[in-house]
Structure 1
Protein backbone atom coordinates (compact mmCIF):
# COMPACT_ATOMS: atom_id res chain seq x y z
CA UNK A 1 0.00 0.00 0.00
CA UNK A 2 1.10 3.58 -0.55
CA UNK A 3 2.60 6.02 1.94
CA UNK A 4 -0.83 7.56 2.51
CA UNK A 5 -2.87 5.04 4.49
CA UNK A 6 -5.64 3.44 2.49
CA UNK A 7 -7.18 1.89 5.59
CA UNK A 8 -8.27 3.93 8.58
CA UNK A 9 -10.13 2.97 11.71
CA UNK A 10 -12.68 5.24 13.31
CA UNK A 11 -12.96 4.23 16.97
CA UNK A 12 -16.06 6.43 17.40
CA UNK A 13 -18.02 4.17 15.02
CA UNK A 14 -20.19 1.40 16.49
CA UNK A 15 -18.81 -0.89 13.76
CA UNK A 16 -16.00 -3.19 15.02
CA UNK A 17 -12.51 -2.50 13.63
CA UNK A 18 -12.30 -5.83 11.77
CA UNK A 19 -15.51 -4.94 9.91
CA UNK A 20 -14.09 -1.51 9.04
CA UNK A 21 -10.91 -3.14 7.66
CA UNK A 22 -12.85 -5.77 5.71
CA UNK A 23 -15.22 -3.18 4.24
CA UNK A 24 -12.49 -0.76 3.21
CA UNK A 25 -10.33 -3.41 1.55
CA UNK A 26 -13.35 -4.93 -0.24
CA UNK A 27 -14.31 -1.48 -1.49
CA UNK A 28 -10.76 -0.86 -2.77
CA UNK A 29 -10.77 -4.21 -4.60
CA UNK A 30 -14.17 -3.60 -6.21
CA UNK A 31 -13.18 -0.06 -7.19
CA UNK A 32 -10.03 -1.43 -8.81
CA UNK A 33 -7.75 0.59 -6.54
CA UNK A 34 -6.20 -2.68 -5.38
CA UNK A 35 -5.48 -4.68 -8.52
CA UNK A 36 -5.35 -8.44 -8.85
CA UNK A 37 -2.15 -9.78 -7.35
CA UNK A 38 -1.51 -6.74 -5.14
CA UNK A 39 0.04 -7.91 -1.90
CA UNK A 40 -1.61 -6.68 1.27
CA UNK A 41 0.53 -5.81 4.27
CA UNK A 42 1.27 -8.71 6.60
CA UNK A 43 -1.20 -9.03 9.47
CA UNK A 44 1.33 -7.93 12.07
CA UNK A 45 2.39 -4.89 10.06
CA UNK A 46 -1.16 -3.66 9.42
CA UNK A 47 -2.12 -4.30 13.04
CA UNK A 48 0.86 -2.23 14.22
CA UNK A 49 0.14 0.52 11.68
CA UNK A 50 -3.49 0.76 12.85
CA UNK A 51 -2.78 0.20 16.55
CA UNK A 52 -4.88 -2.96 16.68
CA UNK A 53 -4.44 -6.52 17.86
CA UNK A 54 -3.17 -8.96 15.24
CA UNK A 55 -6.29 -11.10 15.74
CA UNK A 56 -8.46 -8.19 14.60
CA UNK A 57 -6.61 -7.85 11.29
CA UNK A 58 -6.40 -11.64 10.89
CA UNK A 59 -10.19 -11.90 11.23
CA UNK A 60 -10.69 -9.20 8.58
CA UNK A 61 -8.30 -11.02 6.21
CA UNK A 62 -10.10 -14.34 6.87
CA UNK A 63 -13.45 -12.79 6.01
CA UNK A 64 -11.98 -11.18 2.89
CA UNK A 65 -10.66 -14.57 1.82
CA UNK A 66 -14.03 -16.22 2.49
CA UNK A 67 -15.64 -13.52 0.35
CA UNK A 68 -13.27 -14.16 -2.55
CA UNK A 69 -11.49 -10.81 -2.36
CA UNK A 70 -8.06 -12.15 -1.40
CA UNK A 71 -6.07 -15.35 -1.31
CA UNK A 72 -3.49 -16.26 1.28
CA UNK A 73 -0.55 -18.58 0.74
CA UNK A 74 1.96 -19.55 3.35
CA UNK A 75 5.16 -17.69 2.51
CA UNK A 76 3.40 -15.77 -0.27
CA UNK A 77 1.32 -13.46 1.85
CA UNK A 78 -2.17 -12.21 1.23
CA UNK A 79 -2.89 -10.99 -2.29
CA UNK A 80 -5.89 -9.58 -4.10
CA UNK A 81 -7.70 -12.44 -5.82
CA UNK A 82 -8.82 -12.34 -9.45
CA UNK A 83 -12.19 -10.62 -9.69
CA UNK A 84 -14.01 -12.21 -12.61
CA UNK A 85 -16.38 -9.93 -14.53
CA UNK A 86 -18.96 -9.88 -11.75
CA UNK A 87 -18.07 -6.34 -10.71
CA UNK A 88 -21.61 -4.97 -10.86
CA UNK A 89 -23.03 -7.94 -8.90
CA UNK A 90 -20.24 -7.62 -6.37
CA UNK A 91 -20.79 -3.90 -6.10
CA UNK A 92 -24.53 -4.46 -5.50
CA UNK A 93 -23.73 -7.09 -2.87
CA UNK A 94 -21.34 -4.71 -1.13
CA UNK A 95 -23.93 -1.93 -1.16
CA UNK A 96 -26.47 -4.29 0.40
CA UNK A 97 -23.95 -5.45 3.01
CA UNK A 98 -23.04 -1.86 3.94
CA UNK A 99 -26.75 -0.98 4.18
CA UNK A 100 -27.34 -3.91 6.55
CA UNK A 101 -24.35 -2.90 8.67
CA UNK A 102 -25.58 0.69 8.76
CA UNK A 103 -29.10 -0.35 9.75
CA UNK A 104 -27.78 -2.71 12.43
CA UNK A 105 -25.62 0.04 13.93
CA UNK A 106 -28.52 2.49 13.92
CA UNK A 107 -30.86 -0.03 15.54
CA UNK A 108 -28.33 -0.46 18.34
CA UNK A 109 -28.52 3.32 18.81
CA UNK A 110 -32.33 3.29 18.82
CA UNK A 111 -32.67 5.25 15.57
CA UNK A 112 -35.94 4.83 13.64
CA UNK A 113 -36.35 4.46 9.86
CA UNK A 114 -37.24 8.11 9.22
CA UNK A 115 -34.15 9.31 11.10
CA UNK A 116 -31.97 6.82 9.22
CA UNK A 117 -33.28 7.92 5.81
CA UNK A 118 -32.84 11.57 6.78
CA UNK A 119 -29.24 10.87 7.81
CA UNK A 120 -28.52 9.18 4.47
CA UNK A 121 -30.06 12.08 2.56
CA UNK A 122 -27.96 14.52 4.59
CA UNK A 123 -24.82 12.53 3.88
CA UNK A 124 -25.65 12.46 0.17
CA UNK A 125 -26.34 16.19 0.18
CA UNK A 126 -29.94 15.73 -0.87
CA UNK A 127 -31.42 18.05 1.72
Structure 2
Protein backbone atom coordinates (compact mmCIF):
# COMPACT_ATOMS: atom_id res chain seq x y z
CA UNK A 1 0.00 0.00 0.00
CA UNK A 2 2.84 2.38 0.89
CA UNK A 3 4.51 1.83 -2.50
CA UNK A 4 1.24 2.58 -4.28
CA UNK A 5 0.90 5.87 -2.36
CA UNK A 6 4.54 6.81 -3.07
CA UNK A 7 4.08 6.12 -6.78
CA UNK A 8 0.94 8.23 -6.83
CA UNK A 9 2.71 11.13 -5.05
CA UNK A 10 5.67 10.89 -7.44
CA UNK A 11 3.25 10.88 -10.34
CA UNK A 12 1.60 14.06 -9.13
CA UNK A 13 4.92 15.83 -8.61
CA UNK A 14 6.35 14.82 -11.98
CA UNK A 15 3.10 15.46 -13.81
CA UNK A 16 3.09 19.07 -12.70
CA UNK A 17 6.69 19.69 -13.74
CA UNK A 18 7.54 17.42 -16.67
CA UNK A 19 4.44 16.14 -18.46
CA UNK A 20 4.78 18.57 -21.35
CA UNK A 21 8.50 17.88 -21.85
CA UNK A 22 8.06 14.11 -21.57
CA UNK A 23 5.40 14.07 -24.26
CA UNK A 24 7.85 15.59 -26.74
CA UNK A 25 10.33 12.70 -26.53
CA UNK A 26 8.07 9.95 -27.86
CA UNK A 27 9.26 7.57 -29.24
CA UNK A 28 12.01 7.24 -26.68
CA UNK A 29 14.92 4.81 -26.61
CA UNK A 30 17.41 4.72 -23.76
CA UNK A 31 20.72 2.85 -23.90
CA UNK A 32 21.99 1.99 -20.43
CA UNK A 33 23.73 -0.65 -18.35
CA UNK A 34 22.91 -2.46 -15.14
CA UNK A 35 24.59 -4.74 -12.59
CA UNK A 36 23.11 -7.39 -10.34
CA UNK A 37 20.83 -5.83 -7.71
CA UNK A 38 20.69 -2.42 -9.42
CA UNK A 39 17.50 -0.64 -10.43
CA UNK A 40 16.99 1.90 -13.23
CA UNK A 41 13.80 3.99 -13.34
CA UNK A 42 12.22 5.61 -16.39
CA UNK A 43 8.99 7.44 -17.05
CA UNK A 44 7.04 8.40 -20.13
CA UNK A 45 3.94 10.44 -20.74
CA UNK A 46 1.51 8.22 -22.67
CA UNK A 47 -1.00 10.08 -24.82
CA UNK A 48 -2.56 7.14 -26.68
CA UNK A 49 -4.76 4.23 -25.61
CA UNK A 50 -2.03 1.67 -26.36
CA UNK A 51 1.75 1.60 -26.48
CA UNK A 52 4.65 -0.82 -26.96
CA UNK A 53 7.54 -1.47 -24.58
CA UNK A 54 10.85 -3.09 -25.58
CA UNK A 55 13.59 -4.11 -23.14
CA UNK A 56 16.41 -5.82 -25.03
CA UNK A 57 19.82 -7.08 -23.89
CA UNK A 58 22.39 -9.27 -25.63
CA UNK A 59 23.10 -11.97 -23.03
CA UNK A 60 20.01 -14.06 -22.21
CA UNK A 61 21.92 -15.86 -19.42
CA UNK A 62 21.65 -12.58 -17.50
CA UNK A 63 18.20 -11.98 -16.03
CA UNK A 64 16.54 -8.55 -16.08
CA UNK A 65 13.01 -7.78 -14.97
CA UNK A 66 10.69 -4.98 -16.04
CA UNK A 67 8.00 -3.62 -13.74
CA UNK A 68 5.44 -1.28 -15.27
CA UNK A 69 3.51 1.17 -13.09
CA UNK A 70 0.30 2.67 -14.43
CA UNK A 71 -0.78 6.20 -13.47
CA UNK A 72 -3.20 4.81 -10.88
CA UNK A 73 -0.39 2.94 -9.08
CA UNK A 74 -1.16 -0.58 -10.33
CA UNK A 75 1.94 -2.48 -11.39
CA UNK A 76 3.05 -5.74 -12.93
CA UNK A 77 6.48 -7.35 -13.26
CA UNK A 78 7.66 -9.15 -16.40
CA UNK A 79 10.60 -11.53 -16.90
CA UNK A 80 12.47 -12.62 -20.00
CA UNK A 81 10.56 -15.91 -19.85
CA UNK A 82 7.13 -14.20 -19.62
CA UNK A 83 6.59 -14.82 -23.35
CA UNK A 84 7.68 -18.47 -23.11
CA UNK A 85 11.19 -17.82 -24.51
CA UNK A 86 14.46 -16.89 -22.83
CA UNK A 87 16.01 -14.65 -25.49
CA UNK A 88 17.12 -11.41 -23.79
CA UNK A 89 13.91 -9.58 -24.72
CA UNK A 90 10.82 -8.35 -22.95
CA UNK A 91 8.43 -7.04 -25.60
CA UNK A 92 4.95 -5.92 -24.57
CA UNK A 93 1.92 -4.15 -25.95
CA UNK A 94 -0.13 -2.32 -23.35
CA UNK A 95 -3.75 -1.83 -24.39
CA UNK A 96 -6.48 0.33 -22.83
CA UNK A 97 -3.75 2.51 -21.35
CA UNK A 98 -4.53 5.48 -19.15
CA UNK A 99 -3.27 8.71 -20.67
CA UNK A 100 -0.80 10.09 -18.16
CA UNK A 101 2.72 9.42 -16.87
CA UNK A 102 3.73 5.75 -16.63
CA UNK A 103 6.81 4.52 -14.72
CA UNK A 104 9.12 1.68 -15.71
CA UNK A 105 11.57 -0.14 -13.44
CA UNK A 106 14.41 -2.21 -14.91
CA UNK A 107 16.01 -4.47 -12.33
CA UNK A 108 19.22 -6.52 -12.62
CA UNK A 109 17.89 -9.74 -11.10
CA UNK A 110 20.81 -12.03 -11.99
CA UNK A 111 23.65 -10.31 -13.83
CA UNK A 112 27.28 -11.32 -14.21
CA UNK A 113 29.39 -8.18 -14.57
CA UNK A 114 27.67 -5.39 -16.48
CA UNK A 115 24.70 -5.90 -18.81
CA UNK A 116 24.04 -3.26 -21.47
CA UNK A 117 20.46 -2.89 -22.66
CA UNK A 118 18.10 -0.75 -24.68
CA UNK A 119 14.71 0.35 -23.42
CA UNK A 120 12.07 1.80 -25.75
CA UNK A 121 8.53 3.06 -25.21
CA UNK A 122 6.54 3.88 -28.36
- Band of TM-score, shorter chain: under 0.3
Larger Rg: 1
Q: What TM-score do you get using the length of structure 2 for normalisation?
A: 0.27
| Higher percent of residues as helix | 1
| Higher percent of residues as strand | 2
Q: What TM-score do you get using the length of structure 1 for normalisation?
A: 0.26
More contact order relative to length (CA 8 Å, sep ≥ 6):
2
